[in-house]
Amino acid sequence: MAVGIFDSGLGGLTVLDAVQERLPDVPFAYLADSANAPYGVRTTDDIYALTCAATQQLFDEGCDLVVLACNTASAAALRRMQENWVPPGKRVLGVFVPLIEALTERQWGDNSPPREVAIRNVALFATPATVASRAFQRELAFRAIGVDVETQACGGVVDAIEEGDMILAEALVRSHVDALRRKMPTPEAAVLGCTHYPLLQDVFQAALGNEVKLFSQAGLVAESLADYLTRHPDMLGTSDGCLLTTGDARRVSDRATQFMRREMVFSTA
């Protein structure tokens, strides 16, 4: 009865950790497409094909519901998947919806016209593919007006995290924040638009300053998923919980254990 959680690599473990804490009785099947990570520098068609293949693998494991715990996949592939690919009886959700709900303080089902919200200047830190998709701005515009979004494509950060080079990752974060500040000196809020980035949340906050409100997705996704399963308990599926990777299972297990500070044992998908 597991729910599927997919990410291109290890960033989705921040979401897995949050949903496991929020829903301790629900098993989760996590799949990291480590062999093809990172997705953030790939073309839209490539991201779509890889995301469909990984999602199908989780469906084959017995999951009826899969959460794309990957902003790049959510931005570049989710809508196309939902419109053209998702099989009957299956569901695929992304990580943008809970974030937009929190930022605009309105539920996704609220179809009233866009309105002004409290936050006016937002910095978005994301992968190059997520930035290029403009998915965040598009979804935000359906619900809010008057919000200035400045984006910063954080090249190299995901690669450094996946390689376990946190010193380089931290240096890159500070560099990207400096670059964003040159474009938007005083953001009111900052969005960590990649599920890898919460691993460096303290670094982002320190570089931005405590006056900037930081939106990180893991907790928001966990609450949204709990609400969804309350309304759709039939989507729990039939599989058991597991940790799968398309890459080297031992190497991925070591990296995951390092990041999460608890033992994480992956099997080869």
206-232 residue pLDDT tens = 999 999 999 988 889 999 999 999 999
Q: Quick one: what percent of the chain has pLDDT higher than 70? A: 97
Q: What whole-number percentage of the chain has pLDDT above 90? A: 72
Q: Which domains does the chain have, with CATH numbers?
A: 3-96+218-268 (3.40.50.1860), 103-216 (3.40.50.1860)
pTM to 2 decimal places: 0.88
**Distance from C-alpha of 62 to C-alpha of 125, rounded to nearest angstrom:** 34
Considering Cα of 183, then 194, then 128, then 65, what sign does the dihedral take? negative
Confidence at residue 216, expressed as pLDDT on a 0 to 100 scale:
82
Classify residue 234 as exposed, middle or buried by CB count within 10 Å of its CB (0-12, 13-18, 19+): exposed
Report pLDDT for 106. 76
Give the pLDDT score at 109. Answer: 62
pLDDT in the model for residue 104:
85
100-104, 122-126, 181-185, 197-201: lowest mean pLDDT where?
100-104
In this predicted structure, the answer to whether residue 108 has a pLDDT above a threshold of 60 is: no
Range 147-173 average pLDDT: 94
Instruction: Give the active site residues.
Output: 70, 194
Whether pLDDT at 259 is above 90: no
- Is the pLDDT assigned to residue 96 strictly greater than 80? yes
Query: Mean pLDDT, to the nearest integer, of 89-105?
Result: 89
Would you state the pLDDT for residue 197? 92
- The reply to whether omega before 198 is within 30° of 0 (cis) is no
* Residue 111 near residue 83 (C-beta atoms within 8 A): no
Q: Using one digit for the tens of pLDDT, what is the confidence trace for 14-66?
A: 999 999 999 999 999 999 999 998 898 899 999 999 999 999 999 999 999 99
- Indicate the pLDDT class of residue 98, thresholds 50, 70 and 90: confident
